[in-house]
Chains A and B, each alone.
Chain A
């Protein structure tokens, strides 16, 4: 089997950002806590690979630290969505047609009906702006995505012979869900997880851009863009670099998701929301 090119490109880009984010724990080119105002808004050159911002901080270092914030927020948000959504979906499928199923599905519809950005703004406005609250706001909207998808996929599996055999063997529906259904929908969840991951990166950027994400001194791409907004005329690189970082990472994750889908199961179709 040939590996699709999208998978390779996506995996390379995603891994690169992951490495940069991990590296930032032990090393960044410059310390971003020390301000170097005389050298502010320097365009990219040999000493500062991506230039400096309005405080003279090294943008390359801030991009690395920002990658850490973005990836952490989006990853935990996907974890929340999967951790709560998949069990709910499996439960609804195992008890299909019952009141429980109905409650889970209607609950999903309800969350879907909310404009996620507005609710995220409401949550962070009330609880206070922080990375943790951004995670909660993004994570909540991941739950119905995984619940709906896993329920649909599980329903299809419940009519298969191997599940019937397990039932005849006397296994409880919980054990069947755990031992037979879950392993079979794992691929689908990984593919959808990649897509929700990339959506999470975009959501985190938007929230921190409007000042409702991670707060200083934690670096974030969205806030770098917000800071750069009034400076675009003087120093375009300050606005260009963080944006390009977002585009590249999101693009990489989307390609990775598409590639994984092609490899894991060409018949699978993921929902993009």
Chain B
């Protein structure tokens, strides 16, 4: 296990290094001078020169890369050019919307998908199964941002149950915050729940064909007890991996949903920075998101190996 963890740890570090190189390179690819890009076409040459010096663009590429990465390791994400404030602070304000949103969506998705998947597997080939599978077909085909618009149309505009967007802030009370995140979380959770239900179903169907399930029935367990005690527990392993991946996906996918609901999360920060050409912010926030996703995948790998020792050998 330790060897496995070490190996995974090394590949985690490599992934992070390559990821940071790629993001750095993409920002460098910008045709022309990033400082000129950020200031627009009408900037005076001396303003551009001043910004170049401020961003450290007069230094060599490797020096700038090391400066950026070193800063992030110390928790210094650089300074926003537009707002003149440290980016770390801007991220800290917004992460408390993006993170709860992803978590909320994950919980909703699990609550819907687990029962649906288990139900479908236990009714294989019958009307219940076909109904659930048909619903998941529809679920994966619906773009989440469009579903979000439909939810707003129904619940905010027609029924007036909730507000159409915005965020009151957590200081307005926990439940008001949750209320503002509910429609976004539902929109985000739907396609994920469809995928998760399919994985749950097929994983459980694989298990139901195993010999030990027959043994469980033969020793006198009822269908239901055998399903829960031996089936569902064993089927959970692949499902857990998907859950980890889904959390990463929900965090990234929240970017678009935040746009629909005008939530001031990381997604809006990225888009505002793109439109104001604040590349330092774009670079750092993207790196942060990629980092979170890579670390989550790493954690899932470890958890997976801890549950199932057979997987450690695969490396």
Contact = CB atoms under 8 A, between A and B. Distances in A.
Interface of A: 106, 109-110, 113-119, 121-123, 125-127, 198, 202, 205-206, 209-210, 225, 228-229, 232-233, 236, 239-240, 242-243, 246-248, 250-251, 254-255, 272
Nearest to B285: A118
Given A233-B153, A233-B157, A251 B141 contact: yes
B263 to A, nearest CB: 14
Contacts of B153: 232-233, 236, 239
B140 interface: yes
Interface stretch (B60-68, B104-112, B176-184, B288-296): B288-296
Nearest to B274: A125
B141 A118 contact: no
A254 B140 contact: yes
Interface of B: 11, 14-15, 18-19, 23, 26-27, 29-30, 137-138, 140-143, 145-146, 149-150, 152-153, 157, 195, 198, 248-249, 251-253, 255-256, 259-260, 270-271, 274, 282, 286, 289-290, 293-294, 297
B251 A115 contact: yes
Contacts of A233: 153, 157
6 contacts: A106-B14, A109-B11, A115-B251, A119-B286, A225-B146, A233-B153
B141 A106 contact: no
- Rank and list the top 9 A-B pairs by shortest CB-CB distance, nearest first: A115-B252, A243-B146, A250-B141, A251-B141, A125-B274, A232-B153, A115-B293, A233-B157, A247-B141
B249 A115 contact: yes
Q: Label chain A's interface by main secondary structure.
A: helix
A146 to B, nearest CB: 19
B18 to A, nearest CB: 6
A113 B282 contact: no
A98 to B, nearest CB: 16
Contacts of A272: 195, 198
A254 B142 CA distance: 12
Nearest to A255: B137
Contacts of A205: 143, 146
Most B-side CB within 10 Å, residue of A113, A242, A272: A113
Contacts of A198: 141
A122 B150 contact: no
Contacts of A116: 252
Contact of A126 (B30, B137, B143, B289): B30
A209 B145 contact: yes
B26 A246 contact: no
Contacts of B282: 122, 125
Given A113-B297, A229-B149, A232-B157, A251 B137 contact: yes
Contacts of A240: 150
B282 to A, nearest CB: 6
Contacts of A113: 15, 19, 290, 293-294, 297
Most B-side CB within 10 Å, residue of A122, A198, A248, A254: A122
Given A229-B260, A251-B138, A118 B294 contact: no
B255 A121 contact: yes
A33 to B, nearest CB: 26
A254 B149 contact: no
A232 B152 contact: yes
A61 B137 CA distance: 28
Given A117-B252, A118-B255, 9 more contacts: A106-B14, A115-B251, A115-B293, A118-B252, A121-B255, A228-B149, A229-B260, A239-B153, A247-B143
Most B-side CB within 10 Å, residue of A110, A205, A255: A110
A206 B143 contact: yes
Contact of B23 (A117, A122, A209, A251): A122
A127 B146 contact: no
B138 A117 contact: no
Contact of B29 (A110, A121, A126, A243): A126
A114 B26 contact: no
B149 A106 contact: no
A126 B27 contact: yes
A210 B142 CA distance: 17
A117 B146 contact: no
Nearest to B286: A122
Contacts of A126: 26-27, 29-30
A115 B30 contact: no
A117 B255 contact: yes
A206 B252 CA distance: 12
B149 A246 contact: no
